[in-house]
Amino acid sequence: MNRSLRAILLAALAVALAPPLARGAPQADDEETPVPPSERRGPSTPAERKKALTVTRRLEKDPLGKGAPADRRWLFEWIVAIPDVNVKSCSGPLDFLVEQQGTRHARELYVQSVFGMAAYIIEHPKKQAEDLEVQRAGVESTLRAYRSLVERDSANRWPELDELLAAQKAGKLGEVMKQAVDCSGGGGVPEDAI
């Protein structure tokens, strides 16, 4: 998928995932207010990185929870805004989700891979976005969220994700990733995606 098409799809994804936020009381873990991506800013803070990890894991466990849309919006905006955690969305085994936007939570599952990659980079700061381990962490984050969705409602099944789960269970997800991931034409999360 070329960079322009991916940027457009990510922009549509961000808009679809970002319903107007209710301006109510902040959640217990809201230590920082979201920073609009259009503002230039410095590196992420330790509190923001901690919150990003917490939010990523919460979305894996309950991708449709009450605060999930606001969590996704904050996390996506934060990833776009910060200069020190760079995520690259490469072509790979989750591309079918981009093509199926609007179907069985495809948007939520695809963007979860972005969050999983960011979490991995936070935990392993020497890794680069193109590293296969980073890309794999994104897929694994999506698979955790997918399992949660299927547990909630079996109608949320995707044969492609079931195949990835089977490969993971068999210890062959690494092989699948080596064959499927192509970072040569992909790009990062564009600043104008939101």
pLDDT at 173: 96
182 falls within a domain: yes
Residue 163, domain member (yes or no): yes
> Has residue 134 been placed in a domain?
yes
Instruction: Answer whether residue 71 is part of any domain.
Output: yes
Q: What is the reported pLDDT for 7? A: 43
| Residue 188 parent element (H or E) | strand 182-188
What's the total number of domains in the chain? Answer: 1
User: Which domain range does residue 139 map to?
Assistant: 3-19+44-193
Residue 64 has pLDDT above 90, yes or no: yes
Q: Which pLDDT value is given to residue 99?
A: 85
- Give the pLDDT band (50/70/90) at residue 6: very low
Q: Does some domain include residue 105?
A: yes
Indicate whether 27 belongs to any domain: no
Could you tell me the two tokens for 191? Answer: 């600043």
Determine, yes or no, domain membership for 177: yes
Among 98, 112, 99, smallest CA distance to 63 is for 112
| Residue 25 lies inside a defined structural domain of this protein | no
